[in-house]
Structure 1
Amino acid sequence: MADAGIDYAAVFRTLPGMVALLTPELVYADVNEAFVRGSGRTREQLLGRYVFDVFPDNPNDPDATGAGNLRASLERVLATGERDTMALQRYDVESTERPGEWEERYWSPVNVPVLGADGRVALIVHRVEEITELIKARGGPRGSRARVLEAELYTRARELQEVNERLREAHAREREVALALQEAMLPAPGPVGHHRAAVRYRPAVGTLNVCGDWYDLVDLPGDRIAVAVGDVVGHGLRAAGVMGLLRSALSAASRVTPGPAQALEVLGLYARSVDGAENTTAVAIFVDWDTHTMGYSSAGHPPPALLHTDGTVVFLDRATDPPLGARPDHVPRPQATTAFGEGDVLVLYTDGLIERRGEDIDVGLARLAASLAGHRGTDPEPLADALLLDLLPAAGATDDTALVIVRL
C-alpha cells in the first residue's frame, strides 16, 4: 500500500464523519466536507479562525457549557499529548441565516494529538459525531418522546462529565501525594565529597503520569562515589513506593559490593520480592578519582553520557543487560570500565529526557549529545537547567525525568 500513491488529502476531504485539523493555537487548519456541512459554516468561515470565535457559548444561556468543556479537552490534549474523548455535549450554535438565533446541537467530540518530530503537539484531529437528528427524531425537539430522550441523554452526559471531573480530582490528589513521597525519598542536592554535582527531577504533565524515577549519589571509601538512576514501571503511589524501596536497596548495596555490576545483582535479587518491581531499569556507576576510571553496569537503562572537555560525547553502552527481574534465573551482570579526564562531565538520566512517542531512541540520544556539546565547559547546575530547557517539550513531557550531572 505504501507504493499505491494514496492521495491522503482527498481521503481526508471525503471522510464520512466530521473532522477538523486544529493548530496548537486552536485555529482551524483544515476541515473536511462533512465538517463544513455539519457545522453549517463555509470553509472560508472556518479556516484560519479561532475555534471559539466561530463557536462561542450562547451568551443568552448562562448554563451553556459546550464550548467551555471543549476548550478544557483541547487544553488537556496540548498539555499531555494524549487522546481525549468527551462525553456527549449540547452546543448552542448561532444560525448563519438568522443572526442572534441559536440552535440546539448535540455533538460527541474526540480530540487526538498529532506529534511533531520534537515530541510536541503539532496538530489536533478534532472528530465530531453529530447526533442532533437522533434527539430531535419522532416529533421534533419539543415532541414528548424526543424530549424524554433528549433529557435522558443530556442528564447522563452531565453525570458522566461530573464523574470524570471527580476522577480527575482524585488522580490530582494522588499525584500530589506521590510527588511528595518521591521528594521525601530522593536525596537532597549536595556536594559529593569535594566534587560538584547537580540533580533534577521533573514530573510528567497531567494527573495520571506520576512515575517511579529516582537518582542516588553515595560517598564511598577513598576518593570514590557511586551514582545511579532508575525507573520503575507504572504510575502513581504504588510506583513511588516501589521506587523508594529499590533506591534504598541499591544505595545500601553500593556501600558493600566491589562494583556496580554486583550492586545491580543484589538489587535484582531483592526486586524479586517486591511486588511491582518487575522490569525496573537502572544504571549504576562507580567513579574513582585516584585511577581516573569509572566502572558501570546497566539493567536495561538508557546509556549514561560522558562529555569530554573537547566537546566529544561518548555513551556508556558496553555493559547493558535486561531490566530487573527479566530473567527467571540469576546470572552475573556485565561491567565495563572507561577512563575520564579532569573536567569531563558524567550525565545520567531517565528516558523522559530523550524518548518521544513514535521516534527512534537514537534521535533522542543524538539530541542529548548535541546539547551537551553545545554547553561544554558549563558548571553542573546551569548545565542541568540548560539540558532540561533544550530537551523537554515546552508543554511538558509525558514521562518523568530524573537527571544527575557530575563534574569529574
Structure 2
Amino acid sequence: MNDALIDYTAVFQALPGMVALLTPELVYVDVNEEFLRTTGRRREQMVGRHLFEVFPDNPNDPDANGMRNLEASLLRVLATGERDAMALQRYDVEDVGRPGHWQERYWSPCNAPILGPAGEVVLLVHRVEEVTELIRARGGRSTGRTRVLEAELYTRARELQELNERLRRAHAREREVALALQEAMLPAHRQVGSHPAAVRYRPAVGALNVCGDWYDLVDLVGGHRLGVAVGDVVGHGLAAAGVMGQLRSALSATSRVAAGPAQALDVLGRYAHVVDGAESATAVTTFIDFDLRTITYSSAGHPPPVLMHPDGRVEFLDRATDPPLDARPDPVPRPQAVTSYTDGATLVLYTDGLVERRGEDIDTGLSRLADSLVRNREADPETLADTVLLELLPPGGATDDTALVIVRL
C-alpha cells in the first residue's frame, strides 16, 4: 500500500495500548483513545496541558512519586535522544469525577524521542502498559506464584523510584551549579559613560534547560566606543555553560582588536570550530561609536538587534545576517552594516527565548517586542528591561533561557 494512502492519525488513535505525544516542555499534544479510556479523561482535559497539571502526584502520600519518576525518564530522553524503558511504576491517579479521591494504578511506561532534521528532540512518545489488574490479583484467583510476582514487581518498582529520585536530586544540583557558573561569568549591569545600560538573564523553567545564553559589554580601543553582544549555545546545563563561557570570552577579546564586528565574528567562528559543543551556536555583535553616533553590526544566525529611535520608530538591524558560528566547513568573510542614530535612541539585544514560541512565526514575537518597546520608551533602561521581560515572557516562565541588553544612546 502506498504510504500516502495510510491515515496515520487513525492508526495512532486505534493503537491497542495507551500512547501519548508530549512536547519537550512535557505538554500533551495528542493522546490516543485507549489512553483516554483507561484514565477516564476527555481529550480537552489533556491536550495542551502540562504533564503535572493532568496527573499530579498525590499530595496526601509522600510515597506517591510515580509522576516525578516519569518526569525524570522523559528528561533523560530529552538529554540523550535515546529511548528509556521504565520498570513498573505505581501511580495515584485522581478520579476526575471525585476531586481529591485517588485511584492506585500500576503502569509500565516506555518513552522514546522523535527527532527533528538537526537531531534535536521535537516530540516525546509516551507508551504505557496497564498492569493494575495483575497486581491486584487476590483471593481464589491468585496463586502463590502470582503473589511472589507481585512482591517482586513492587520491590523492583520501589528500587527504581529511589534511583529516579536520586537522579532528580542530581539534576537539580547540576542546575544550581550551572546557574552559579552562568552568573559568575556574565557581567553585572553598568553605566557606559553617560549612557545607562541594563542587562538581564532569565533561566528557563525545567530541570536542565538553562545556561546556553550570554551577553557582553566591552570597551573598544580608539575613541568613545562600546561593543555589545549576545549569543546562544545549543544545549543546556553545565556543558552549555562551559561552552558559553569560552565563546563569550573569545568574542570579548577579539572585539578589542578587530576592525569591526564582522571580523570579530569571523575569528569567533574559527574558534567555535575547535570547541566541542559550539556547533550551531549563534551570536550578534554591535560596535557603537558614541562620537560618530553610528552602530556597526553583524549577526551569525541570531535574531536582529532593535534600534528604537526617540520618536518611537523601530528599526530592526537585519542587513548583515549570516549563518550560525561553525556552519560552514570553509569560513568566508561575514557581512556587516552601519546605521546611524540620534541622542536618546535605545539599542536592544536579546536571545530567542524572548521572542520565539513553539508553533508561532518569529515575526509575531518580534512585533510583540517592538510594541512593548514603543509603549514603554519613556522608561529608563532598568525599568524598560523589567517591563519587557514581564510583558513578553510567559507567566510561568519560558522553556528557553533569555538574555537581554538595553543601552540608552
Deviation at 1:384, TM superposition (A): 0.6
TM-score relative to the length of structure 1: 0.75
1:303-342 equivalent positions in 2, closer than 5 A: 303-342=304-343
After superposition, the Cα gap between the structure-2 partners of 1:37 and 1:325, relative to the gap in structure 1 and judged at 3 Å, is closer
2:380 maps to 379
1:274 maps to 275
Greater CA deviation, 316-325 or 150-159? 150-159
Deviation at 1:273, TM superposition (A): 2.7
Distance, in Å, in 1 between the alignment partners of 2:94 and 2:237 is: 44
After superposition, the Cα gap between the structure-2 partners of 1:308 and 1:54, relative to the gap in structure 1 and judged at 3 Å, is closer
1:30-49 equivalent positions in 2, closer than 5 A: 38=38
Question: What is the CA deviation profile of residues 97-151 of structure 1, one whole-angstrom value per residue up to 9, with x for unaligned ones?
Answer: xxxx998642357999xxxxxxxxxxxx998642123445698674212112222
After superposition, the Cα gap between the structure-2 partners of 1:19 and 1:315, relative to the gap in structure 1 and judged at 3 Å, is same
- Which structure is larger by alpha-carbon Rg, 1 or 2? 1
2:209 maps to 209
2:300 maps to 299
**Does 1:259 pair with 2:247?**
no
1:189 maps to 189
Question: What is the CA deviation profile of residues 60-113 of structure 1, one whole-angstrom value per residue up to 9, with x for unaligned ones?
Answer: xx7762xx5448868999xxx99x997633357899xxxxx998642357999x
Distance, in Å, in 2 between the alignment partners of 1:238 and 1:386 is: 31
- Mapped contact 1:193–1:219 kept (Cα < 8 A): no
Q: Could you tell me which amino acid in structure 2 is paired with residue 362 of structure 1?
A: D
2:115 maps to none
**Does 1:222 pair with 2:223?**
yes
After superposition, the Cα gap between the structure-2 partners of 1:375 and 1:18, relative to the gap in structure 1 and judged at 3 Å, is same
Q: Could you tell me which amino acid in structure 2 is paired with residue 214 of structure 1?
A: W
SS in 2 for 1:297: strand
Question: What is the CA deviation profile of residues 147-171 of structure 1, one whole-angstrom value per residue up to 9, with x for unaligned ones?
Answer: 1222222222222222221112112
Q: Could you tell me which amino acid in structure 2 is paired with residue 173 of structure 1?
A: R
- Mapped contact 1:139–1:145 kept (Cα < 8 A): no
Q: Could you tell me which amino acid in structure 1 is paired with residue 181 of structure 2?
A: L
1:147 maps to 147
Deviation at 1:227, TM superposition (A): 0.4
Deviation at 1:14, TM superposition (A): 7.9
- Mapped contact 1:304–1:349 kept (Cα < 8 A): yes
**Does 1:391 pair with 2:386?**
no
1:361 maps to 362
Q: Could you tell me which amino acid in structure 2 is paired with residue 202 of structure 1?
A: R
SS in 2 for 1:196: strand
SS in 1 for 2:195: coil
Distance, in Å, in 2 between the alignment partners of 1:170 and 1:355 is: 29
After superposition, the Cα gap between the structure-2 partners of 1:393 and 1:56, relative to the gap in structure 1 and judged at 3 Å, is closer
1:243-258 equivalent positions in 2, closer than 5 A: 243-258=244-259
TM-score relative to the length of structure 2: 0.75
1:119 maps to none
Distance, in Å, in 1 between the alignment partners of 2:62 and 2:149 is: 20
Distance, in Å, in 1 between the alignment partners of 2:56 and 2:228 is: 54
Number of positions where the alignment pairs a residue of Structure 1 with one of Structure 2: 367
2:284 maps to 283
- Mapped contact 1:64–1:92 kept (Cα < 8 A): no
The percentage of aligned residue pairs carrying the same residue is 70
Q: Could you list the runs of 5+ residues in structure 2 that have no partner in the other structure?
A: 22-30, 47-51, 96-100, 113-124
**Does 1:90 pair with 2:87?**
no
SS in 1 for 2:298: strand
